[in-house]
């Protein structure tokens, strides 16, 4: 290559009809592999997935109506996506069932890493064949920019159901027809259509045996089917995400070592280190451990249900351990009543409201039916400021309804500056101050606002 007098490299000239020699060879190679171009053969994709380490798989179009809520997020990460190849990876049952959480957590993490590696091998093979593909994480890491709002690219549970890999049980985990609850899911997004798609299974493997209800230390799974997300999130995920934020704030606000020790025990601090060093510790996945569903799992349960209860469920229930719950929550009441031998640890909620949108959306996740037993009221919320919006919240018969706009007659009208309302919910400003500065105005009995607050302890 020549250099001009000023020391700058001269650009080579290919002439008007010439092109870099690599372009022709790449164009020839593309579409020449096993998959070819255009619509891909689903059988070959399935064989590839199994050869790369998946225990089962299914294929679903991003245009499937069941993925309507997922499609925008999928295309944000990979605009070319046309098909989702959903992978199932089997976990080993006895480690997950162990009361020793280090054993169970190692199984969760190792199985998850294996499944992510399987997805990566599939992407490599497809790329080598000229097929564009992307593998989002099976679980973590996620897109945390808007936490506590959605952080995941693909909801693995939704795509797994759509791809025929199982149905969600009352414990809110997907139950695979063969492997039961002892399975994890991952996805590969492919920039091509396929010749044959999977279909959802036409039955639910869940036995409705309620063993998950019995095993859950915080009572997150109710006998009537209601799921207390906030109870599960606060306890099971205490070592990471929202629980980690609370830990950092405890460190920052402590005046001394002694003051910090009042907020976080020595063992809890060590657990934070372990989560940072070796992967976040799940405090309980007892709902999965207790589940007897699935063709490969159900045999011993059917042969001797009492033995399954004694060998699997009872050790989890009997274990002495800290159980994390928000003060005055249904979960705290449940621990005190059902598990007095476990150590009730009262903490702040791990789910924090950061926007008006997350407040309205998150109410269904943090609502406490037990605290709404005597409440029958309709609330009209009107938020001003950057997130101007209106909503109607109805609490009646221990059930919650949240709809956009003002519907019906309100028992209490709440008008508030949106940003200040969020500060109030996070205990950064008092109710009295908001009322005095007119940033919060009430029309109706203030007692109804207090009753509302009891349904959402934080």
**Residue 5 domain-assigned (yes or no):** no
Burial category of 145 from C-beta neighbours within 10 Å (exposed 0-12, middle 13-18, buried 19 and up):
exposed
- Are residues 449 and 412 part of one domain? yes
- Are residues 303 and 399 part of one domain? no
How far apart CA 309 and CA 209 sit, in angstroms, is 11
Q: How many CB atoms lie within 10 A of CB 337?
A: 9
Residues of the chain with pLDDT under 70: 1-37
**Residue 204 domain-assigned (yes or no):** no
C-alpha pair distances (Å), 278 with each of 230, 284, 405: 25, 17, 47
* CB-based contact 303:133 (threshold 8 Å): no
- Are residues 180 and 36 part of one domain? yes
Q: Which tokens in the block code for residue 235?
A: 């306890």
How far apart CA 147 and CA 351 sit, in angstroms, is 9
Given 347, 382, 407, which residue is the final one in a domain? 347
What residues contact 318, with CB distance under 8 A and at least 6 apart? 341
- Are residues 185 and 77 part of one domain? yes
**Residue 10 domain-assigned (yes or no):** no
**pLDDT score, position 457:** 93
**pLDDT score, position 241:** 87
**Residue 262 domain-assigned (yes or no):** yes
**Residue 203 domain-assigned (yes or no):** no
**pLDDT score, position 6:** 40
Backbone angles phi, psi at 339, to 5 degrees: -130, 60
Q: What is the CATH number of the domain that holds 176?
A: 3.40.109
How far apart CA 454 and CA 448 sit, in angstroms, is 10
> Which residue, 229, 238, 39, is CA-closest to 131?
39
- Are residues 119 and 241 part of one domain? no
What residues contact 303, with CB distance under 8 A and at least 6 apart? none
- Are residues 38 and 176 part of one domain? yes
C-alpha pair distances (Å), 103 with each of 17, 108, 282, 352: 65, 9, 11, 30
Domain count, the chain: 3
> Which residue, 326, 342, 311, is CA-closest to 234?
326
Residue in the structure block whose two tokens are 């606000």? 253
- In DSSP terms, 56 is beta-bridged to 88
Collapsing DSSP states into helix, strand and coil, what is residue 158?
helix
Given 324, 347, 370, which residue is the final one in a domain? 347
**Residue 19 domain-assigned (yes or no):** no
Look up the domain containing 162 and give its range. 30-190
Residue in the structure block whose two tokens are 């700058």? 8
- Are residues 86 and 156 part of one domain? yes
**pLDDT score, position 224:** 83
**pLDDT score, position 27:** 35
- Are residues 47 and 180 part of one domain? yes
- Are residues 273 and 171 part of one domain? no
Residue in the structure block whose two tokens are 């299914």? 58
**pLDDT score, position 36:** 58
**Residue 196 domain-assigned (yes or no):** no
- Are residues 313 and 218 part of one domain? yes
Backbone angles phi, psi at 151, to 5 degrees: -115, -20
**Residue 308 domain-assigned (yes or no):** yes
Q: Which tokens in the block code for residue 447?
A: 């007692």
- Are residues 240 and 328 part of one domain? yes
Q: What is the CATH number of the domain that holds 360?
A: 3.30.1050.10
**pLDDT score, position 10:** 37
Identify the DSSP state of 185.
E
Given 289, 317, 347, which residue is the final one in a domain? 347
- Are residues 121 and 38 part of one domain? yes
Name the pairing type of β-strands 412-417 and 377-384: parallel
**pLDDT score, position 94:** 97
* CB-based contact 290:211 (threshold 8 Å): yes
């Amino acid at each position: 290559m020549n250099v001009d007098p000023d020391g700058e490299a001269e650009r080579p000239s290919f002439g008007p009809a010439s092109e870099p020699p690599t372009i022709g060879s790449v164009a020839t190679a593309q579409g020449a592999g096993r998959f070819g171009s255009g619509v891909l053969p689903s059988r070959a994709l399935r064989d590839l997935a199994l050869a790369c380490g998946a225990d089962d798989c299914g294929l679903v179009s991003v245009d499937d109506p069941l993925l309507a809520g997922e499609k925008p997020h999928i295309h944000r990460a990979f605009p070319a996506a046309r098909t989702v190849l959903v992978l199932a990876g089997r976990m080993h049952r006895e480690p997950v069932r162990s009361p020793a959480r280090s054993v169970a957590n190692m199984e969760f993490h190792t199985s998850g890493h294996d499944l992510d590696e399987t997805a990566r091998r599939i992407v490599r093979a497809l790329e080598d064949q000229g097929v564009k593909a992307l593998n989002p994480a099976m679980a973590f890491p996620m897109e945390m920019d808007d936490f506590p709002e959605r952080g995941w690219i693909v909801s693995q549970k939704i795509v797994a159901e759509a791809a025929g890999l199982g149905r969600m049980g009352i414990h809110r985990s997907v139950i695979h027809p063969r492997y039961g609850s002892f399975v994890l899911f991952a996805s590969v997004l492919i920039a091509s259509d396929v010749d044959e798609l999977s279909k959802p299974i036409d039955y639910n493997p869940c036995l409705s045996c309620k063993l998950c209800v019995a095993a859950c230390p915080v009572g997150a799974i109710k006998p009537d089917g209601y799921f207390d997300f906030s109870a599960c999130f606060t306890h099971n995920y205490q070592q990471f995400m929202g629980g980690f934020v609370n830990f950092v704030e405890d460190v920052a606000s402590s005046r001394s070592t002694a003051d910090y020790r009042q907020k976080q025990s020595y063992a809890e601090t060590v657990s934070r280190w372990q989560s940072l060093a070796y992967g976040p510790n799940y405090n309980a996945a007892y709902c999965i451990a207790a589940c007897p569903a699935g063709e490969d799992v159900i045999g011993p349960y059917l042969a001797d249900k009492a033995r399954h209860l004694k060998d699997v469920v009872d050790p989890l229930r009997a274990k002495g351990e800290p159980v994390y719950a928000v003060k005055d929550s249904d979960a705290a009441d449940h621990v005190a009543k059902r598990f007095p031998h476990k150590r009730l640890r009262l903490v702040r909620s791990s789910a924090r409201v950061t926007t008006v949108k997350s407040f309205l959306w998150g109410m269904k996740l943090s609502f406490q039916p037990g605290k709404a037993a005597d409440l029958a009221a309709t609330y009209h919320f009107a938020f001003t400021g950057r997130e101007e919006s209106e909503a109607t919240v109805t609490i009646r018969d221990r059930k919650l309804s949240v709809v956009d706009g003002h519907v019906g007659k309100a028992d209490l009208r709440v008008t508030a500056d949106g940003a200040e309302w969020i500060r109030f919910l996070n205990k950064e400003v008092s109710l009295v101050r908001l009322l005095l500065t007119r940033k919060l105005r009430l029309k109706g009995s203030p007692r109804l606002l207090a009753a509302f607050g009891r349904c959402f302890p934080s």
